[in-house]
Amino acid sequence: MAIRESMHQVGGGILDKILNAEDRGYRGTQIDCGQGHAAEFVEYRSKQVQTVLGPVAVERAYYCCRPCGRGLVSRDQELDIVGTGLSPGVRRMMGRVGSKESFQEGQQDLKQLAGLEVTAKQVERVSEQLGQQAESWRTKASPAGASPAVVALKAIPKFYIGYDGTGVPMVPGETEGRRGKQSPQAKTREAKLGCIFTQTTVDQQGQPVRDADSTSYVGAIETAEAFGVRIYAEAVRRGLHNAQLVIVLGDGAPWIWTIDDEHFPGALQIVDLYHARQHVAELAKLVLGSEWKPWAEARYRQLDEGKIESLLGALLRLKTPQPAVQAAIHKEIHYFQTNAERMRYGELRKRGLFVGSGVVEAGCKTIVGKPLKQSGMHWTLRGANAISALRCLDLSNLWEDFWESRRAS
Ligand SMILES: [Zn+2]
C-alpha cells in the first residue's frame, strides 16, 4: 500500500507534466466567443483538479469576452472538467460506487480501494448527474437508428420482454396526494422495470436457455405510458424488428397488457409463473391459515400443467364466513379467469419457452433493491431515477459505450 501510495504521487507528477506541457488551451490572442465576438486572451489560470492520481493543478488559457461579459476556458471542455474540480476518471469511479451501494459506503470504498478522498455528498451529486446524463444519452438513441449499441441484424428466434414493479421509499414531499396501501399518504412509489433477453435454443432436457449476455434493463419511476415508450425504444434497439417470436412475461398487472396492446401487438403474453404461484400462496394463507400448504401445492401442480379451469374450480369451492376473505377469493378468481390463456404453462414448456424468467426478479433486486431500498433511505424522484438509470446502464453492458460517447463529444 505504501508503494502504491508513492506510485500515485509519481503518477501525479507525470500527469502534471503532461497536462501542463505546451498546449494549455492557448489559441492565439483572440478567439471566437461563439456569439460572434472576439474574446481576448487574458492569462493562464490554474485550477485544482482531483484525479485518480491525486490533486493536480491544471493551467488553462483564460479568455474574456467583454460584450458577453463572461470568461471562456475551452480547455475545460477538452478535459471534461467544466464546472467541476473532479477529473472524469474520478467521477467515473464515483458513479460506479454510487449506483451500487449507499453514498456513504461508496465514499468509504473509494478511500479504501482507490485512495480517493471525497465526501458522501459528492458521491451523491456526481452519481445523480451521471445518471441524468446516462438517461438522456439512452433516450436520445432513437428507435430510428443512432443507437448506443449493436442492433442485431440476423433473425432472433425468441425475443423476451419482462416486466416488474417494486416500491421505492420516498421523501414525504414526493408522495403528496398519493394514497398508501395502509396509510392515507403513500411512503413509496412504484419503480417500473423492464428487461429484454433472447433465446435461441433449449438444452438437452428441453429447458430454455437464455442467450449469453443478452439481457438489458430499463427502469424508472414514471407513468405506464412513459414507461411503454421507454421499453419500446429499448426493444427496437435490441432488434425487435428481427424477432420471429415476441414473448411478454408479466406479473398480471393490467398496465403491462395495456403497454403490449400499444407497442407489442401480437406478442405471446405469459404471466410469470412465479407471480401466479404467489397469488395462490397468499390466498391459501388467508383462507386456510397454517393449513395452507397442501392445498397450495395441489394448485401449483394444476398451474404447472396449465389446468386453469381446474384451479378455478378449486377456488370456487373455497368457503369462508368472512366477507373480507370472500372478497379476496373473488378477486383471485377474477385474476385467474382474466389471465387463464396466459397461464398454459404445460404447453408453453413443451414449446421450450421460459414461463418464469427469474431474470426480471433478479433485476428488480439489483437495480432497485440493493442501491435504493436499504433501511433509512428516502429518495427524491430525481435521485431515484438517476441512480436506476445508472444501474441499468451498467447491467445492460452499456457503461463503456456511455463513456466512449462522452469522449467523442
Ligand atoms: Zn461574446
Q: Is residue 259 part of a domain?
A: no
Span from the CA of 132 to the centroid of ligand 1 (angstroms)? 29
Span from the CA of 246 to the centroid of ligand 1 (angstroms)? 54
Q: Is residue 230 part of a domain?
A: no
Q: At what angle do helices 120-140 and 399-408 cross, to 10 degrees?
A: 80
Span from the CA of 37 to the centroid of ligand 1 (angstroms)? 5
User: Quick one: pLDDT at residue 408?
Assistant: 67
Q: Which candidate, 211, 235, 231, 239, places its Cα nearest to that of 151? A: 239
Span from the CA of 74 to the centroid of ligand 1 (angstroms)? 14
User: Quick one: pLDDT at residue 10?
Assistant: 94
Confidence of residue 145 (pLDDT cuts 50, 70, 90): very low
* Same structural domain, 64 and 122: no
Q: Is residue 48 part of a domain?
A: yes
Span from the CA of 26 to the centroid of ligand 1 (angstroms)? 18
* Enclosing domain of residue 110: 96-142+400-408
Mean model confidence pLDDT for the chain: 89
Mean pLDDT of 310-334: 92
Mean pLDDT of 284-291: 91
Q: Is residue 377 part of a domain?
A: no
Span from the CA of 57 to the centroid of ligand 1 (angstroms)? 27
Span from the CA of 384 to the centroid of ligand 1 (angstroms)? 38
This prediction has a pTM of 0.84
Span from the CA of 31 to the centroid of ligand 1 (angstroms)? 10
Span from the CA of 53 to the centroid of ligand 1 (angstroms)? 36
Span from the CA of 52 to the centroid of ligand 1 (angstroms)? 35
Please report which residue ranges of 289-378 form alpha helices under DSSP H.
292-305, 308-317, 323-339, 345-350, 359-364, 370-372
208-238 residue pLDDT tens: 988 888 899 999 999 999 999 999 999 999 9
182 or 10: which leads in pLDDT: 10
Q: First-to-last CA distance in the chain?
A: 36
User: Quick one: pLDDT at residue 146?
Assistant: 44
Span from the CA of 72 to the centroid of ligand 1 (angstroms)? 9
Span from the CA of 35 to the centroid of ligand 1 (angstroms)? 5
Q: Do the Cβ atoms of 280 and 352 come closer than 8 Å?
A: no
Please list the residues that pair with 31 across neighbouring strands: 39
Q: Do the Cβ atoms of 64 and 72 come closer than 8 Å?
A: yes
Q: Do the Cβ atoms of 268 and 245 come closer than 8 Å?
A: yes
Span from the CA of 62 to the centroid of ligand 1 (angstroms)? 14
Span from the CA of 69 to the centroid of ligand 1 (angstroms)? 7
Span from the CA of 65 to the centroid of ligand 1 (angstroms)? 5
Span from the CA of 70 to the centroid of ligand 1 (angstroms)? 7
- What is the helix, strand, coil percentage profile of the chain, to 5? 50, 20, 30
Confidence of residue 150 (pLDDT cuts 50, 70, 90): low
Q: Is residue 221 part of a domain?
A: no
Residues 6+ apart with CB under 8 A from 58: 19, 20, 46, 47, 48, 49, 75, 79, 81
Q: Is residue 355 part of a domain?
A: no
* Same structural domain, 72 and 135: no
Mean pLDDT of 25-30: 91
* Same structural domain, 81 and 6: yes
Instruction: Please report, rounded to a whole number, the percentage of residues in the chain having pLDDT higher than 90.
Output: 64
* Same structural domain, 75 and 7: yes
Q: Do the Cβ atoms of 49 and 59 come closer than 8 Å?
A: no
Span from the CA of 42 to the centroid of ligand 1 (angstroms)? 14
Span from the CA of 68 to the centroid of ligand 1 (angstroms)? 4
Confidence of residue 143 (pLDDT cuts 50, 70, 90): very low
Q: Which candidate, 110, 100, 95, 103, places its Cα nearest to that of 52? A: 110
236-265 residue pLDDT tens: 999 999 999 999 998 878 888 888 889 999
Mean pLDDT of 185-197: 89
65-120 residue pLDDT tens: 999 999 999 899 889 999 999 999 999 999 999 998 899 999 999 999 999 999 99
User: Quick one: pLDDT at residue 363?
Assistant: 74
Sign of dihedral through CA atoms 131, 134, 136, 142?
A: negative
Q: Is residue 171 part of a domain?
A: no
Last residue of a domain, one of 327, 342, 357: 342
The structural domain count of the chain equals: 3
Span from the CA of 76 to the centroid of ligand 1 (angstroms)? 18
Q: Is residue 28 part of a domain?
A: yes
Cell numbers 422495470 correspond to 193
325-368 residue pLDDT tens: 999 999 999 999 999 999 999 999 999 999 986 777 777 777 77
**How far is 304 from 297, CA to CA, in rounded Å?**
10
* Same structural domain, 108 and 80: no
Last residue of a domain, one of 311, 342, 373: 342
H/E stretch holding 88 reads: helix 88-98
Last residue of a domain, one of 85, 113, 134: 85
Is the per-residue pLDDT at 374 higher than 60? yes
Span from the CA of 27 to the centroid of ligand 1 (angstroms)? 16
User: Quick one: pLDDT at residue 12?
Assistant: 93
Question: In the numeric block, which cell numbers belong to residue 79?
Answer: 478535459
- Lowest average pLDDT, out of 36-50, 283-297, 394-408, goes to 394-408
